[in-house]
């Protein structure tokens, strides 16, 4: 058994599909170690996808996922595969089959999901960085909860070939790091982009996102916003969603994601009848009921949202907003509390997903002694601009 598994006291790594790959002898990531969320294929190994039934019904991979190959070719060494929420259809780090992933920087509290193991492994210092995925917030929320840099790239910018799908029009390959310079280096490799970053334009503050997060979160993020303003100038307050962010999260994002999740996994669920955990079971049950009328209405609204965000972020504008409506909930919190937190989180997290935009969460604040992230969003394709800003804003 690998020493990384022996040293893992946070349940960050998967035992059942453990895989290692030595990094190339040279490259920009030479000497760094990483974990990969157990949705990414590694040749000769299975994937749990957070489900023992998935592992039992799928053969070992014939090829290694493109993103993993890119990182290894750049010199990084894969030391193991990391835990994920069940079928990645969750924003918390509890898995009925594989247990809770523990938060190194907020003991007794959730890591966030679904990239729970990747976040915990990075926060604990078990790896230098980790590969996750973000559909509805599965990198951004754990980054906020665990005090990490986390990136959701522009949709389609990083290859997901060889990764298990949930909602393909939202799925992205994201990553975590503790160090801003490492964070940017990893991003440059995955994005395949070594061109100079764009120069940021005006700074916008998402007033409705701060309002949805609540005054306590807004107060905790004042210092972080002030630091961003010290680099980019005074923020202009804007309302992102005139019809309300809850409408974006629940009536647009949730509907399209559910339809795509059922298209991706419904046939497998129907055939194999896996034992789905709390929350995941109910979401898939609802996903099976989304009809064509609901989908078409949501899809039309999504394109309106994308056009609005394109106009808002023109000229290399940067939007600052809370990553999360609060600090990590306690492990084992009542399901009603978790469902309420999820709805409030999706209202904020859906902005970038619906408009296919890049977003970075930066570890620039705390609340009640726990990490709390602030986020920057930019126009589609301005990923490296955000990475450069993350490095400039680092302590």
Catalytic residue annotation:
37, 114, 138
Instruction: Single out the residue of 33, 21, 106 nearest to residue 373, CA to CA.
Output: 106
Query: Quick check: 97 and 79 in contact, CB under 8 A?
Result: no
Instruction: Single out the residue of 149, 155, 230 nearest to residue 184, CA to CA.
Output: 149
Residues 8 and 181: their CA atoms lie apart, in Å, by 25
Residues 190 and 184: their CA atoms lie apart, in Å, by 10
Query: Quick check: 38 and 9 in contact, CB under 8 A?
Result: no
Query: Quick check: 346 and 90 in contact, CB under 8 A?
Result: no
Instruction: Single out the residue of 351, 358, 349, 355 nearest to residue 383, CA to CA.
Output: 358
Q: Which residues pair with 81 in a beta bridge?
A: 36
Give yes or no for a cis peptide into 114 (omega within 30° of 0): yes
How many residues are present in the chain?
Answer: 395
Residues 390 and 372: their CA atoms lie apart, in Å, by 15
Residues 319 and 128: their CA atoms lie apart, in Å, by 28
Residues 316 and 199: their CA atoms lie apart, in Å, by 7
Instruction: Single out the residue of 224, 243, 242 nearest to residue 365, CA to CA.
Output: 224
């Amino acid at each position: 058994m690998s020493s990384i598994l022996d040293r893992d006291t946070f349940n960050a790594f998967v035992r059942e599909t453990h895989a290692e790959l030595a990094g190339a002898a040279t490259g920009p990531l030479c000497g760094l170690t990483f974990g990969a969320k157990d949705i990414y294929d590694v040749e000769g190994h299975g994937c749990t996808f957070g489900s023992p039934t998935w592992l039992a019904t799928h053969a070992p991979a014939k090829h290694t996922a493109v993103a993993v190959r890119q990182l290894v070719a750049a010199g990084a060494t894969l030391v193991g595969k990391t835990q994920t929420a069940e079928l990645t259809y969750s924003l918390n780090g509890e898995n009925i089959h594989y247990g809770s992933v523990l938060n190194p920087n907020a003991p007794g509290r959730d890591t966030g999901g679904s990239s729970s193991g990747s976040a915990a492994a990075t926060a604990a210092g078990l790896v230098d960085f980790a590969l996750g995925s973000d559909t509805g917030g599965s990198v951004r929320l754990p980054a906020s909860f665990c005090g990490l840099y986390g990136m959701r790239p522009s949709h389609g910018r990083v290859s997901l070939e060889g990764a298990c799908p949930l909602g393909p029009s939202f799925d992205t390959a994201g990553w975590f790091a503790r160090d801003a310079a490492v964070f940017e280096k990893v991003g440059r490799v995955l994005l395949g982009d070594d061109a100079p970053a764009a120069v940021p334009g005006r700074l916008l503050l998402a007033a409705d996102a701060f309002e949805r997060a609540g005054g306590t979160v807004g107060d905790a993020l004042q210092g972080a916003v002030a630091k961003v303003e010290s680099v980019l100038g005074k923020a202009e307050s804007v309302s992102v969603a005139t019809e309300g962010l809850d409408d974006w999260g629940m009536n647009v994002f949730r509907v399209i994601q559910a339809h795509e999740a059922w298209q991706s996994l419904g046939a497998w669920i129907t055939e194999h009848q896996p034992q789905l955990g709390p929350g995941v079971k109910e979401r898939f049950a609802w996903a099976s009921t989304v009809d064509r009328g609901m989908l078409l209405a949501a899809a039309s609204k999504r394109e309106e949202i994308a056009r609005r965000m394109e106009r808002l972020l023109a000229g290399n504008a940067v939007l600052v907003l809370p990553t999360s409506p609060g600090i990590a909930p306690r492990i084992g919190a009542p399901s009603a509390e978790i469902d309420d937190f999820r709805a409030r989180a999706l209202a904020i997290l859906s902005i970038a997903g619906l408009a296919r935009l890049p977003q970075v969460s930066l570890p620039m604040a705390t609340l009640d002694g726990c990490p709390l992230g602030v986020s920057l969003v930019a126009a589609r394709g301005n990923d490296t601009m955000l990475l450069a800003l993350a490095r400039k804003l680092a302590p």
